[in-house]
Chains A and B, each alone.
Chain A
Amino acid sequence: MRSYRSRRIAGAAGIFWSFACAFVAAASLLLILGYIVVKGGGALNWQFITQLPRPVGITGGGVANGILGSIITVGIATLIAAPIGVMTGLYLALFARGGFAESVRFLSDVLSGIPSIAIGLFAYSLLVQPFKHFSALSASFAFAVLMLPLLIRTSEEAVRSVPRTILEGALALGMTTFRSTLRIVLPVAWPSIMTGLLLSIARVAGETAPLLFTAFGSQFWELNPTNPMAELALQVFTYAISPYRDWQSQAWGGALLLVMAVFALNILARLLLKSRVSVLR
């Protein structure tokens, strides 16, 4: 048996090493963020946010169409994914039994680990190839598929966490399960469901891979989702790998915008979660 002293020193060293690892992990984020803010901040100006991209090789211009396109694409994706995801989560929490419920949950977990590029291929073969036409709609579909697992899991947990006695109290008054769920249970679970929605939006807001062959990108303003559309994440990617200095610095600007959007959504989600706790005693 080693001396107590040497064991304590070993312990202290171990704890310090663990701290160092946590510190390195956290510090690397701050390092990356630092670069984004510094280099991206330089490219952010009014022109950047409001103008269309200039043709290749000409300096100036902006990513306005990408910002709009991303908002439209993510918006449509939310409209597709939210009903399916939340209702499936409700079904799992309220009615599903045994094997079927377990299978749905398992498949939802599996789906959450599938690479987004494979899902992009799925969207391509379903919505691009048959029409021989790139579209924001196909990108929205890919995004919706990416959002589903998180939506299903958070919706189910949100409803499950409402105490059973509240549902039973409503049923005992002679309310249908439908009305009990809609008027009494869902309002209690709502902040948690919204949190899940915000997190799933944050998940796809920065996604690039599926966009390569669904939305495809565009140089112009586009409001029609059945056409190819500019996407901010795609513009960042294209500019970053280009050989033009000006485009590269615009890539940093776009990256900063993406990071700000994603962080804002995450923080909003956390705040919403905190407010929920005060509703239930």
Chain B
Amino acid sequence: MAARRLGAQTGSKIVDRLFVAVLFAAAIVFLAIIAGLAIELTRGSLLSLKTFGFRFLWTSEWNPITNIFGALPLIYGTIISSLIAIVLAGVFGIFAAIFLADFAPRALARPLSFIIELLAAVPSVVFGLWGLFVLAPAMRTVIDPALQKVFGFLPIFSGPSYGVGLLTAGVVLALMIVPTVTAFSRDVIATIPVDQREASMSLGATRWETMMKVVVPAARAGIFGAVILALGRALGETIATTMVIGNRPEIAVSLFAPSYTLASVIANEFTEATTDVYLSSLVELGLLLLIVSIIVNGAARMLMWSVFRGARSAR
């Protein structure tokens, strides 16, 4: 038998070192892509940043003809449409999550969850198509007039309705983000240990009271995180919004009015941008979206993680 010295074979050491190195290189490539994203967007915005500075954020004029660009109308449209979306999606999504987590019989919970998750898979342009040809006419002919009849004294429901506008965009966005709210909230609620529920019920609380007074408050941070995560999605949504928001860079009080969002304006005008400043302003809007989504996502993840970690240590 040949001598089997331990130090003899170094071939396998090289193989393993190479293996780690290649995998590490992949991770570095990934990091480089993220860095590249931040760098390129910043570079592209430089001209606009130099020209307008921080005034960009509160200038209310977006005028390609005079080359004066201000993001305020776009920020307004983005915020209002997203706000409508998370109010609607929050209410429906959280209660749907409550139902699916604890109250739905098994036979019902699975298919319902599955259908709601499929909603998340529907492409944005399909939502936009449906919103444009089905929802918008319905809003214009039925829903908006009804709202105006009942709530017309409120300025947000004043003025004519064209079908496309802030409210319609908000509803479409709500449909798009409700799966996010539902899925993440349901996961967070499920993390709350069973013994907390059992303790509450053994004190005489009904199942509903247990849910609303014990479980949901315990999961509060995580549910909030889920809503914030959904908000992040709504803020960056482009195509569906573009198709139903009316594309008018003006600030109006009424929710029936057409509006414009940060993402929509990039989508609509990027290929038409004639001057360097125009292009740079559009890229700066992209940079703004990037920064906002990083902050919103970071906050959402931290909130949700705090609940997961808390539940784990409680076990």
CA distance A115 to B261 in the complex (A): 13
Does B33 sit at the interface, judged by CB under 8 A? yes
Interface string of B29-54 (1 = CB under 8 A from A): 11101101100110110000000000
Compute how far the CA of A7 lies from the CA of B30 in the bound complex, rounded to whole angstroms.
54
Q: Is B156 an interface residue (CB 8 A)?
A: no
From DSSP, what is the main secondary structure of chain B's interface residues? helix
Min C-beta distance of B285 to chain A, whole Å: 9
State in angstroms the CA–CA spacing of A202 and B118 once bound together.
Answer: 11
B98 CB–A CB distance under 8 Å: yes
Residues of B near A49 (CB, < 8 A) are none
Residues of chain A contacted by B142 (CB below 8 angstroms) = none
Also in contact, A17 and B271, with CB within 8 A (given A25-B119, A88-B27, A208-B125): no
User: Bound complex: CA of A18 vs CA of B189, how far in Å?
Assistant: 14
Interface range on chain A (Cβ under 8 Å from partner): 35 or more
Q: How far is the CA of A95 from the CA of B23 in the complex (A)?
A: 9
- Asked if B57 CB lies within 8 Å of chain A CBs, one says no
Q: What B residues does A209 contact at CB under 8 A?
A: 124, 238-239, 263, 267
Q: Which of A54-62, A188-196, A256-264 contacts the other chain?
A: A256-264
Report the separation of the CA atoms of residues A111 and B33 in the bound assembly, to the nearest whole angstrom.
10
Alpha-carbon separation in the docked complex, A207 to B126 (Å): 10
Q: Are B122 and A22 in contact (CB under 8 A)?
A: no
A contacts with B: majority SS: helix
Whether A11 contacts B34 by the Cβ 8 Å rule is no
Q: Which of A22, A121, A152, A178 contacts B95 (CB 8 A)?
A: A22
| Chain A residues with CB under 8 A of B34 | 107, 110-111
Q: Per-residue 0/1 for A169-209: is the Cβ within 8 Å of any B Cβ (1 yes, 0 no)?
A: 00000001111010000000000000000000010011111
Interchain CB contact under 8 A, B123 and A22: no
When A25-B178, A178-B15, A241-B243 are in contact, do A88 and B96 touch as well, CB less than 8 Å?
A: no
B43 contacts which chain A residues (CB < 8 A)?
125
In the complex, are the beta carbons of B99 and A21 less than 8 A apart? yes
What 1/0 mask marks residues of chain A from 4 to 41 whose CB sits below 8 Å from any chain B CB? 00011011101101111111111011101001100100
Number of A-B pairs, beta carbon distance below 8 Å: 261
- Whether the pair A109, B297 counts as a contact (CB closer than 8 A) is yes
State the CA gap A39–B115 with chains docked (Å): 21
Taken together as a complex, chains A and B put the C-alpha atoms of A108 and B237 apart, in Å, by 19
State which of B103, B112, B130 has its C-beta within 8 Å of the C-beta of A36: B130
* Residue A143, interface by CB 8 Å: no
In the assembled complex, the CB of B20 is this many whole angstroms from the nearest CB of chain A, namely: 5
| Residue among B22, B44, B238, B290 with max Cβ neighbours from chain A (10 Å) | B238
Q: Are A117 and B124 closer than 8 Å at their CB atoms?
A: no
Inter-subunit contact B237/A22 (CB<8 Å): no
Report the nearest A residue to B181, measured CB to CB.
Answer: A25
CB contact under 8 A between A87 and B26, given known A22-B95, A25-B96: yes
Which of B27, B37, B91, B116 has the most C-beta atoms of chain A within 10 angstroms of its own C-beta? B27
Which residues from B are CB-within-8-Å of A109? 297, 301
A17 pairs with B294, CB closer than 8 A = no
- B-facing residues in A110-124 (Cβ within 8 Å): 110-119, 121-122, 124
User: Is A273 close to B, CB under 8 A?
Assistant: no
Given A26-B112, A114-B293, CB of A7 within 8 Å of CB of B15: no
Instruction: Give A218 Cβ to nearest chain B Cβ, in Å.
Output: 14
Given contacts A28-B175, A125-B283, A252-B129, 15 further A-B contacts (CB under 8 A): A8-B206, A21-B93, A22-B104, A23-B112, A32-B127, A87-B23, A88-B23, A90-B23, A91-B27, A118-B290, A178-B18, A207-B123, A237-B128, A240-B132, A258-B126
> B residues bordering A, Cβ < 8 Å?
12, 15-16, 18-20, 22-24, 26-27, 29-31, 33-34, 36-37, 40-41, 43-44, 91-93, 95-96, 98-100, 103-104, 112, 115-116, 118-119, 121-130, 132-134, 175, 178-179, 182, 206-209, 211-212, 229, 232-233, 235-239, 243, 263, 266-267, 270-271, 282-283, 286-287, 289-290, 293-294, 296-298, 300-301
- Give chain A's interface residues, CB within 8 Å of chain B: 7-8, 10-12, 14-15, 17-26, 28-30, 32, 35-36, 39, 83-85, 87-88, 90-92, 94-96, 100, 104, 106-119, 121-122, 124-126, 145, 148, 152, 176-179, 181, 202, 205-209, 212-213, 216, 233, 236-237, 240-241, 248, 251-252, 255, 258-259, 262-263, 266
Q: List 22 A-B contacts (CB under 8 A).
A: A15-B99, A17-B95, A18-B95, A19-B103, A21-B91, A22-B104, A26-B116, A28-B175, A35-B134, A100-B27, A114-B236, A115-B293, A117-B286, A176-B15, A178-B15, A209-B124, A209-B239, A233-B123, A240-B128, A240-B132, A262-B123, A263-B121
